[in-house]
Structure 1
Amino acid sequence: MSNEPNRRKYLRVDDRVSLHFQPLSESEAINTAANFEIRRMEFSLKNHLVHGREQHMPHMRIIEKRHPEIASYLKFLEKQIESLSSQLIDKDHCLSVDDRYEVNLSAEGIRFYMPEQFKSGDIAEIAIMVYPSQASMYALGKIIRSEKVEDESNSETLWRTAIHFTRLHEEDREMLIKHIHQLQLAEIRLSHG
C-alpha cells in the first residue's frame, strides 16, 4: 500500500456516458476558450435551467402558498422552456444517446478509452451526457496521459486517455457531483439488498 496521500478532491466513479472529445490545435484552443460560455450553452442549457430553478425554489414555494394559480402557470411555462431547450440541444447536439462510452468520471476529470493516441499536454474540448437524467456538460481539459492498453482479447488497439478539466462551469461541476453521488447511493442500495 502506498504511503502517498490521495491528492484527489473529488470522488471518482465508473460510468457509461455519451461523450464528445475533440483535441484542439493551439489556435482552436484560444478561440474555444474565448467563446467558452457560448459553446457551453450549446451543451449545458438544461443544466443552467435546472440550476436556476433550484436557486429560485424558495421563491416558488412562497408563490405556491400565496398564489397557487400563478405557481401553476409558472410551472407550465417552465415545462415549455425545458421542452424547447431539449429540442434545441437535440437538433445540434454531437452527443448521441445511442453511443455510450465506459469512463471513469469525477468533477475534476475523466478517463476513457479511444482507438487513437493523443499528445499529453494538449487541450481538448469535452462534452458529456450522463444517464438517466440526460444532463450534459461541456468543458475544456488538458490531456494528462494517453497510454496504450494491452488487451489480447481485443484485436483493436486502445489508448487509455486521462483528461483534467481546466475549464468547467460551476453549474456543470455541481451537476457532475450530484450525478456521482446518485450513482454511489444506487450502488450502496444494491449492495445492501
Structure 2
Amino acid sequence: MSTLDEEDRREYYRIEDMIALEIQPLSGPEAAGQEVLQDASPLFNLLSELHLSEFESQHLLRQITERDRNTAAYLKVLNKRIDLLSQVVAQTVLGKFDEPQRVVLSEGGIEFEHHLPYPAGSYLAIKLLLMPQALGLLLRAKVTHCEPESFGTFAIGTEFQYLTDAQRQLLARYILQRQAQERRLAREHTESGN
C-alpha cells in the first residue's frame, strides 16, 4: 500500500506533454530480458548514446571545473556544439515518427492513447523522442491497464521496466525542466495579465 508521501512524489514527477512516440510489442526473451533495448535505426541509437554519454560525463566536467575553469568553459562550448548536432539528428529521426501526441509521463511510466489494444501484463518497446532537448530513449514497459476510448482508440498505461540509472536520471531531468518551464510561463502570464 502506498503512503501519501509516495502519492505526492509520484504526482510531482508527472507531466502532461506532447512527444513523438513509437510503440512495438515485445515477446519472448525481449519481453523478459533486462538488457538495454536497441533500435533498428542507427540514427536513433546514436541520439540515445549522445545523451547517455553526456549524462555519464557530467561528474567529470564538475571535477574539471573545480581545477581549471578555462578548460571547463571550453568543454562546455564543445558540449553545446554536440547538443546542436544532436538536435539536427533528432529532426531527421523525428521525420520517421508519427505526429507528436499527448501523454502523461513520469519516471515510472507513460500513459498514452493508441489505435491498438495491448492487454495488461504484456510488454512493449516504447521509443520516445523528447524535444527540444532531442532526447531519444528506447524503454521496455509493462502494460498496467488498457481501456477503450472514443473513436476506436485505447487509453494505455505502462510502467517502465529495468531502466538504467542514466535513463532514469535523464527522464527525471527532462520532467523537472518541463515543470520549471511551465511554472515560468505561468508566472509570465500572471505578470503580463496585471
Shorter-normalised TM range: 0.7 to 0.9
TM-score of the pair, normalised by structure 2: 0.73
Find the counterpart in structure 2 of residue 58 from structure 1: 62
Q: Cα 1:61–1:7, aligned 2, differ >3 Å: closer, same or farther?
A: closer
**How far apart, in 1, do the equivalents of 2:141 and 2:124 lie?**
5
Q: Report 1:5-154 matches (<5 A).
A: 5=4, 7-8=6-7, 9-10=9-10, 11-30=13-32, 33=33, 35-36=35-36, 42=45, 44-62=48-66, 64-65=68-69, 68=70, 96=96, 99-150=99-150
Q: Secondary structure of 1:138's partner?
A: strand
Offset of 1:180 from its aligned partner?
1.2
Identity over the aligned pairs, expressed in percent?
23
Say whether residues 1:173 and 2:173 are aligned partners: no
Q: Cα 1:34–1:88, aligned 2, differ >3 Å: closer, same or farther?
A: farther
Q: Cα 1:123–1:95, aligned 2, differ >3 Å: closer, same or farther?
A: farther
Offset of 1:23 from its aligned partner?
1.0
Q: 2:156 aligns with which of 161, 164, 180?
A: 161
TM-score of the pair, normalised by structure 1: 0.74
Which amino acid in 2 is paired with 1:52? E
**How far apart, in 2, do the equivalents of 1:89 and 1:188 lie?**
26
User: Higher helix share goes to which structure?
Assistant: 2
Q: Is the 8 A contact 1:20 1:127 kept in 2?
A: yes
Say whether residues 1:187 and 2:191 are aligned partners: no
Q: Is the 8 A contact 1:15 1:102 kept in 2?
A: yes
Q: Cα 1:15–1:167, aligned 2, differ >3 Å: closer, same or farther?
A: same
Q: Structure 1 unaligned runs (5+)?
A: 151-155
Cα deviations across residues 8-46 of structure 1 (Å, max 9, x unaligned)?
Answer: 45321100111121111224424xx3642656x926212
Offset of 1:47 from its aligned partner?
2.0
Q: Is the 8 A contact 1:20 1:94 kept in 2?
A: no
Q: Structure 2 unaligned runs (5+)?
A: none
**How far apart, in 1, do the equivalents of 2:181 and 2:73 lie?**
32
Q: Secondary structure of 2:99's partner?
A: coil
Q: Is the 8 A contact 1:114 1:159 kept in 2?
A: yes
**How far apart, in 2, do the equivalents of 1:72 and 1:185 lie?**
25
Give the RMSD, CA atoms, in angstroms: 3.2
Cα deviations across residues 41-70 of structure 1 (Å, max 9, x unaligned)?
Answer: 9262122122123111223214534xx4x6
Of the two, which has the highest radius of gyration?
1
Q: Cα 1:98–1:112, aligned 2, differ >3 Å: closer, same or farther?
A: closer
Offset of 1:191 from its aligned partner?
2.2
